[in-house]
C-alpha cells in the first residue's frame, strides 16, 4: 500500500510539472508573437473629430509615426525624432508592451515603455500609449487632410496649388512592395519597366506652376532590356506619358507609347507598368 501511495504522489508531481511547463511554453509563445504582430509595420497618427477619422498632415511638420524594427522602434514626432531601444517585451491581455530607453544620437536620455494595443479584429487601428494610430497597410482607406497654407504662412495665394504639384515627387506604384512603377524627381520622370534591366527616363514638357496635368517626353532609355526597344526616331518633343494629380495622394498615369517621328505613329502602346492604362497609382514611402 505504501508503494502505491508513493507512486501516486510521483505521478501527481509529474503531471503538475508538465502542466507548469505547458503554461510556461504558452506564455513564451504569447511573448514571441509580439514582434510578428508589429515588426516591420509603420503606424500613423490618426486625428478623430466625432466619428470622422483622418490622417492630418501639418504644413510645418511630418505626420507622427512609429516604425517597429526587430530590436528598436523609430518614433517621428513631426519636428523631432528618436530611436527607442527595446530591452524587453511582453504580452499583457493582448497589449504588447515594450520596455526600453529613448536614444538621441548615441545617448540614452530616458527609460520608458511603449504599449501597442489593436482595437479591432483586422488590426487596422491601434492605441499606442493610449493615442490612436493606423497601420500603414490601411492608410489609404481613410481620409487624408492637409493643413491649410493660410494657417501657417503669409502670402499663400497660389502656394497651395504649387505644394500639391511638388508633392508628387517620390515613388508611385500600384503596389508599393513591387519595384515596378514610376519615380518623379522635379522635372524628371523615371519608369521602372523591369527592375535592374529596363528603365525609361522622361522630361516634363509643361512646367507651369499649379498644373494638375503633367506631360512628359522621352529623354533616354537605360538598361540591357531597352536595347531591343530603342530607336533614335523616338527622341522628339512629343509627349509619351501623362500624369493627372488627384486627391488623397493618388495620381493617374497614362502611357501613350513612343512617338516615331519618322512614320508619325505611336509604338509600344501596350500598358507598361500594369494591365490597366490609364492606371491609378499611390504614393510609396521612400
Residue 156 has pLDDT above 80, yes or no: no
Q: What distances in angstroms separate CA 263 from CA 9, 209, 230, 255, one per listed residue?
A: 96, 34, 15, 19
- CB atoms closer than 10 angstroms to residue 79: 10
Q: Which of 116, 111, 75, 120 is nearest to 97 (CA)?
A: 116
C-alpha cell at 2: 505504501
> Nearest CA to 229 among 182, 263, 268, 269?
268
Cα–Cα distance, 264 to 178 (Å, whole number): 34
Cβ atoms of 139 and 145 closer than 8 Å? no
Every domain of the chain with CATH number 2.40.128 lies at 36-146, 159-283
Sheet containing strand 52-57, strands side by side: 47-49, 52-57, 143-146
Name the pTM for this structure: 0.47
**From CA 153, how far away is CA 150, in angstroms rounded?**
5
Domain at 36-146: CATH code: 2.40.128
Grid cell locating 169: 515627387
Model pLDDT, residue 31: 46
Return d(Cα 141, Cα 53) in angstroms, integer.
10
CA distance readout (Å), 7 to 1, 3, 17, 19, 45: 10, 6, 15, 18, 61
| pLDDT tens for each residue of 159-179 | 555 445 457 888 888 888 788
Q: Determine contact, residues 64/74, Cβ cutoff 8 Å.
A: no
Sign of CA dihedral 117, 121, 125, 130: negative
Q: How far apart are CA 91 and CA 38, in angstroms?
A: 12
What pLDDT band is residue 6 in, cutting at 50, 70 and 90?
low
Higher pLDDT, 157 or 48: 48
**Residues 6 or more apart from 77 whose CB is under 8 A from it?**
64
14 — pLDDT class (breaks 50, 70, 90): low
Please indicate whether residue 197 or residue 28 has the higher confidence score (pLDDT). 197
Q: Enumerate residues 6+ apart whose C-beta is below 8 A from 251.
A: 168, 172, 243, 244, 245, 280, 281, 283
- CATH of the domain spanning 159-283, picked from 2.40.128, 2.60.40, 2.40.50, 2.40.420: 2.40.128
Separation of alpha carbons 140 and 128, rounded Å: 20
Please determine, for residue 101, whether its predicted confidence score (pLDDT) is greater than 50.
yes
Amino acid at each position: 500500500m505504501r508503494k502505491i501511495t508513493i507512486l501516486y504522489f510521483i505521478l501527481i508531481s509529474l503531471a503538475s510539472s508538465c502542466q507548469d511547463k505547458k503554461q510556461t511554453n504558452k506564455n513564451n509563445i504569447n511573448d514571441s508573437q509580439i514582434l510578428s504582430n508589429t515588426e516591420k509595420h509603420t503606424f500613423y497618427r490618426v486625428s478623430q473629430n466625432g466619428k470622422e477619422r483622418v490622417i492630418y498632415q501639418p504644413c510645418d511638420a511630418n505626420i507622427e509615426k512609429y516604425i517597429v524594427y526587430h530590436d528598436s522602434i523609430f518614433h517621428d514626432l513631426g519636428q523631432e525624432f528618436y530611436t527607442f531601444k527595446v530591452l524587453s517585451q511582453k504580452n499583457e491581455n493582448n497589449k504588447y508592451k515594450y520596455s526600453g530607453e529613448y536614444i538621441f544620437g548615441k545617448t540614452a536620455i530616458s527609460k520608458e515603455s511603449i504599449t501597442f494595443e489593436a482595437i479591432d479584429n483586422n488590426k487596422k487601428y491601434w492605441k499606442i500609449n493610449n493615442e490612436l494610430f493606423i497601420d500603414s497597410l490601411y492608410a489609404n482607406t481613410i481620409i487624408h487632410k492637409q493643413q491649410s497654407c493660410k494657417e501657417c504662412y503669409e502670402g499663400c495665394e497660389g502656394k497651395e496649388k504649387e505644394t500639391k504639384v511638388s508633392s508628387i515627387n517620390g515613388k508611385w506604384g500600384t503596389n508599393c512592395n513591387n519595384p515596378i512603377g514610376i519615380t518623379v524627381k522635379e522635372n524628371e520622370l523615371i519608369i521602372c519597366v523591369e527592375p535592374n534591366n529596363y528603365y525609361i527616363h522622361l522630361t516634363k514638357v509643361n512646367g507651369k506652376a499649379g498644373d494638375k496635368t503633367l506631360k512628359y517626353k522621352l529623354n533616354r532609355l537605360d538598361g540591357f532590356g531597352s536595347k531591343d526597344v530603342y530607336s533614335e526616331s523616338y527622341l522628339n518633343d512629343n509627349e509619351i506619358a501623362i500624369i493627372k494629380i488627384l486627391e488623397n495622394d493618388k495620381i493617374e498615369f497614362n502611357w501613350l507609347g513612343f512617338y516615331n517621328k519618322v512614320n508619325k505613329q505611336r509604338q509600344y502602346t501596350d500598358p507598361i507598368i500594369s494591365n490597366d492604362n490609364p492606371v491609378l497609382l499611390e504614393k510609396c514611402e521612400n
